[in-house]
Amino acid sequence: MRQVKHILLCLLLCLSLTAEVFAADVPESFVCENLNGQQRIIKTYVLPANGDADALREAPFTYEGYRYTWAYTTKEEHPYSIVKTVTETVEIETAKDDLAQILAQLAPSMTYDDGEYVGELALDHTTLKTVAAGYETRYSSISETKTISGLASNDMSYVPGTTVKNGKTLKLANVEWQVTATGLVGEELLPCEYQAVATYTGSSSYQAATGYATTAEYTGEVTASGIESITYTVVFTGEKLEPVQIGPAPDEDPAAVRSHSAGSFLAWIACAIFAVGCAFLGWLLWTRRKNVYVYVPGNKPRDYKLVAKYRVEESELCIDITDAAVAPEGNVAVEIKHALAKKVLGKTFTVNYAGKRYCYNVQNDRPGDWHEFNLKTFEEVQLE
């Protein structure tokens, strides 16, 4: 009886360990082979760039008469490269509206780096626009000289006190009298005709630019690159287990043999129960495994953090992420795993959050469908 209890305890322990194994990430492929006399199991996983590869290294396990241990892990990175056209606007100030002076302050190209996209932008000369940066009031002097001829005397009444030039009224500032003719009066020669050279002055104000502001555009193609996902190939090598002796040894006591046979029979029953339990538990965990993952952007480009996993049935394509660790005004990404995405390709998937609903169509099934949107606007985020 004590032996049966020990067997049942071992059975429960094995079932708990089996549950942990099935709860781990399900491999994309599972291959059991014998290569050049060496028994091997090869498991293939596809993880995000920030996935934990160490978690794929399992503890020793048995499978179909062999005990397998981890041998090595290889990885294959899947890079991405996205190109887009970017335009940047710069502004400079110059003292004059002079093209040569403006171009002297504009570099022919500039480096673009926003932390994700990197490239070189070239100056587009057709986009130059120059306007006055500001205005100030300036003053200037105006003068005008007039000659008045044929005057009988040098009387100031002949000279006007003001004159007009370019719409501005100027005041008389100075008069220079000149004798243009003389006559004999008695025996004395005296002036008989004069001309006045009158000088008029004034001032005017005008608005002058204090400087000029020029805007210019730089345009070019920039590239974002990195690692989108990594395929890990985990290899385990196996050693054949020695068969357990079931029958009695020739020199064993018959009573001991009967007792051993009864214990062996109970052990076989327990093993059968264990096998059925493992198979059922494995089937149950396989059918209930998580197939929809929710991520939030990390601190680096193309870096995402897994925050929740869900089990979704084909008949009810819906999840509620209200309780997930997501920012109410941030972006979230929903990944539908390959097995489910293949079945529901083209169907509508619904994401509920805080009483709101966001719906979209499943577009891709290899290796799965990835969709990103903003929780504040509930609008799709375009992956550039």
pLDDT in tens, 123-159: 999 999 999 989 999 888 999 999 999 998 999 999 9
Cα(21)–Cα(11) distance, integer angstroms: 15
298/61: higher pLDDT: 61
Nearest to 146 by CA among 128, 135, 158: 158
Nearest CA to 368 among 77, 47, 74, 83?
A: 47
Report the DSSP pairing between strands 29-35 and 168-185. unpaired
Average pLDDT estimate for 32-42: 93
CB distance 57 to 73 below 8 Å: yes
Q: How sure is the predictor about 338, in pLDDT bands with cuts at 50, 70 and 90?
A: confident
- Give the containing element (helix H, strand E) for 60: none
pLDDT confidence tier of residue 246, bands split at 50, 70 and 90: low
Q: What stretches of the chain show up as alpha helix (H) in DSSP?
A: 2-23, 99-105, 254-287, 338-343
Tokens standing for residue 210: 């204090």
Residue 250 C-beta-side C-alpha neighbours within 13 Å: 0
Closest CA to 341 of 320, 316, 319, 370: 370
49-54-55-61 Cα dihedral, nearest 10 degrees: 140
Q: Minimal CA–CA distance to 27: which of 263, 258, 367, 331?
A: 367
Higher pLDDT pick, 384 / 253: 253
Q: Hey, which residues does 233 pair with through a beta bridge?
A: 44, 74
Stronger pLDDT, 273 or 47, i.e. the higher one: 47
Place of tokens 């070189």: 120
Outline where 293-367 has alpha helix (H). Answer: 338-343
pLDDT at residue 19, rounded to an integer: 43
On whether the CB atoms of residues 248 and 257 are closer than 8 A, the answer is yes
Domain ranges of the chain: 80-227, 292-374
SS3 for 206? strand
Q: For residue 292, name the pLDDT band (cuts at 50, 70, 90).
A: very high
pLDDT(221) > 60: yes
Q: What is the mean pLDDT of residues 84-101?
A: 94
Whether residue 113 contacts residue 224, with contact meaning beta carbons closer than 8 Å, is answered with: no
Write the CA distances from 299 to 302, 326, 330, 336, integer angstroms. 9, 14, 13, 23
What local confidence, expressed as pLDDT, does residue 75 receive?
A: 92
Compare 276 and 48 and report the one with higher pLDDT.
48
pTM of the model: 0.43
